[in-house]
Amino acid sequence: MRVPNVRPFLRRARSWRATRRRARTKRRGRLVRGVPSSLARRAKLPKLPSPRRIFLQEDINFLVTNRIPRRLATRFMGWFSKVENPALCKITIAVWRVFSDLDLSDAEPVRYRSLHECFTRRLVPGARPIDADDTVVVSPCDALVGATGRLCGTDLIQAKGFPYRLEELLADPNAAAKHRNGWFVTLRLTSAMYHRFHAPYDCDVERVDYISGDTWNVNPIALRRVERLFCRNERAVMTLRLQPSQHAVTLVAVGAILVASVRLHCLDIRLHGRYRGPEVIHCRAPHDKGQEMGWFEHGSTIVVLAPPQFELVPDIAEGSVIHMGQPLFRLPRGSH
């Protein structure tokens, strides 16, 4: 009996199955993420925004960081950051990295037990070299440079179109008069930065004035929306006397939302929203140039006030990054 040739039938079957497969694939590919495939091939689909990009949108950022119970949020952060649980700390640091440029490569190699230990971390020796030039006043902290320039009498600015007065910032007209027509530099410590601040020159801390207040965010978005913000927030005014020139330099450490407190080594107290001690604390605490003075417990702002005879270093410009120990001002000739 003759066996029929089945090869043509097999070829047709394979061709039919291949045609069906192509048709199914075409039907499935008509929509790509809700967009017709023809359009998807012609144009790149936009990337979904990252959590950080969403958070940086001005309206959302201002709403989330200011239109909440600020004092309650600050107290909660102060408590939560001190919870000692390495696993919880590891998770919160990972979340922190998503919303910031946190870099721990120059920190001392320790295993953090709490978020507070990470906030107030120390750096490895030599991570921030101090400019040894005795004509240079250095930056007291790592920071983004904000508004800077010469005071107009006792008027200065927090952002374009938002002036404020030194008398209101310092809450002392006599102290404000000493800096008339002087210099000011706004140094903003972001949450990811090194939170400790240091002596800008060989000096004595003569007094510390604690001024209670609110806890508005101090980021550029808030500075462009809230008038006299630095004068509204709680702050510690440190009066320094440079040695041996006797020039007066003032550091104003401004608190902010989530900043539970400011600590100073020269005072055995913690300055925070519930502090009810003396508002003016006289002391005489000598510091060498670059010596640690204290720390913020989250990140905030330091306004540096210098005499009119000083010269601002040319590289200091709004938006630039400066590290602790880098030049900020130059002393007048013959005064060091």
Pick the catalytic residue: 116, 198, 272, 336? 198
CB-count burial class (<10 Å; 0-12, 13-18, 19+) for 61: middle
Pairing of strands 196-198, 292-296: antiparallel
Task: Give dist(CA 238, CA 253) in Å, integer.
Answer: 8
142 part of the active site:
yes
Pairing of strands 262-264, 292-296: antiparallel
Pick the catalytic residue: 139, 142, 261, 336? 142
Task: Give dist(CA 118, CA 292) in Å, integer.
Answer: 17
Pick the catalytic residue: 81, 191, 245, 300? 300
> What are the residues facing 187 on neighbouring strands?
145, 302
Please report, for residues 6, 100, 143, 301, 315, the alpha-carbon distance to residue 16 in angstroms, rounded to integers and kept in the order given: 16, 56, 69, 73, 74
105 part of the active site:
no
198 part of the active site:
yes
Task: Give dist(CA 195, CA 290) in Å, integer.
Answer: 14
Catalytic residues: 142, 198, 300
